[in-house]
Amino acid sequence: MNIGPITFDKYPLFLAPMDEVTDASFRFVCKHFGADMMYTEFVAADGLIRDATSTVAKMNIYDYEHPIGIQIYGHLMEPMIEAARIVEQAKPDVIDINFGCPMKKIAARGAGSGMMREPDKMVEMTRRIVDAVKVPVTVKTRLGWDEDSKIIVELAERLQDAGIVALTIHGRTRAQVYKGVADWTLIGEVKRNPRMKIPIIGNGDVDSPQKAKELFDRYGVDAIMIGRATYGHPWIFREIKHYLQTGTLLPDMPVAERVALAKLHLEKSLQEKGLRTGVLEMRRHLSNYFKSLPDFRETRARLVTENDPEKVVSILDYILERWGEY
C-alpha cells in the first residue's frame, strides 16, 4: 500500500492526530512499539499564520519519526491554504486536512467536522490546498454531520477527484462525537467502491488486537488508525502486530516494563515541555499505564496530582516494589 511515495507493508497501523496527546514524547514511545505512521497534534491555521509559539511548536518533528503527517484545521479558505504552505516548510511526509474533529469549539465555527455541513466548500478547500503545495495531501473526516446526512460515500469520490492521496474515515457522525459504537459499514462501502483508487484508512473503536483483525478482514481497509486506545497503552501497536502475524495474543506487559516505559516517557516529556508542563501532560498517560492493578486507587491519585518529577519517579519506584510481580 502506498500513500504518495511512502510504501507500507501489509496491515499498517497509524497513530491518530490528537490535540495535547500526540506530542513528540508520546510519538517517541508509539514509534518504539511499531506505529507505521504518526501524526502530530493538529494545528490551527490561524495560529500558524499569527506565528503563535505553541502552535508552531507542534510542528517540530525528528528524523526518526518519518513517515509522519502534520494535520491542519480551519474554516476559512485563504488561511488554510497559507497554513498548508507554512506546514510544507516543516517537511512532513503528508499534510492532512482535519475535517473530522467533533469538538464544539472547532466544529461550531465550521472547522473540523463542521465542514461536513458544507461539502462543496470542503472539496474546494481540499483542491486548492492540493494545488498550493508539493507535499502529498490527505484528509481525515467522518461519515457525515448527523444520522440524516451520512454523505461519505459520494464525498470520498469528490475528495479523491480533488487530488488527495489517501482518506481516513472515522466511523461516527459529528453529532455522535465519541458516543455509541463506531459504524464501519460505510467505511467498507467506500473501500469497495470501484471508483476509489486511493488508500482508505479506517478509524474508530480499535481497542484490541482481535478488533483490529476483524476490521481488516471484514472491511478490507488499507490501514487502521488508532486514537484513544493508545492513552497509557502505546504498546497496543506491538500487541496488534503480533496478533496479525501469529494469531496469538501477547501476555499483558509486566509492571516492571511499564514502570521503565513510564520513566522513559516522562523523561522525554520533560525534555520537550519543561518541568511543569512536562509533568502535567503526562498525567493522562500515567493514569492509564497501571489501571489494571488491584488496590491502586490511592497510588493513582498520588501519581496524577504530583507536580515534582522526582517525586513522580519515586511513586513509580513504589509501584514497581508494590506490584512488581504483576
Helices (H), 14-134: 24-32, 45-49, 53-57, 77-88, 104-107, 119-132
The H or E element containing residue 158 is helix 152-161
Of the candidates 136, 147, 45, the residue with the CA atom closest to the CA atom of residue 99: 45
Please list, in sequence order, all residues whose beta carbon lies within 8 angstroms of the beta carbon of residue 240, skipping any fewer than 6 positions away.
Answer: 13, 208, 209, 212, 213
Rounded to whole angstroms, how far apart are CA atoms 320 and 295?
A: 14
Residue 144: all three cell numbers together: 457525515
- Annotated active-site residue in 3, 30, 45, 101: 101
> Is the Cβ–Cβ distance between 82 and 113 less than 8 Å?
no
Residue 76: all three cell numbers together: 476559512
Rounded to whole angstroms, how far apart are CA atoms 291 and 233?
A: 10
Please say if 101 is a catalytic residue.
yes
What is the β-pairing status of strands 6-7 and 2-3?
antiparallel
- One-letter amino acid identity for 105? K
Of the candidates 257, 262, 275, the residue with the CA atom closest to the CA atom of residue 314: 262
Each residue of 100-129: b (16+ CB within 10 Å) or e? bbbeeebbeebbbbbbbbebeebbebbbbb
Active site residues: 101
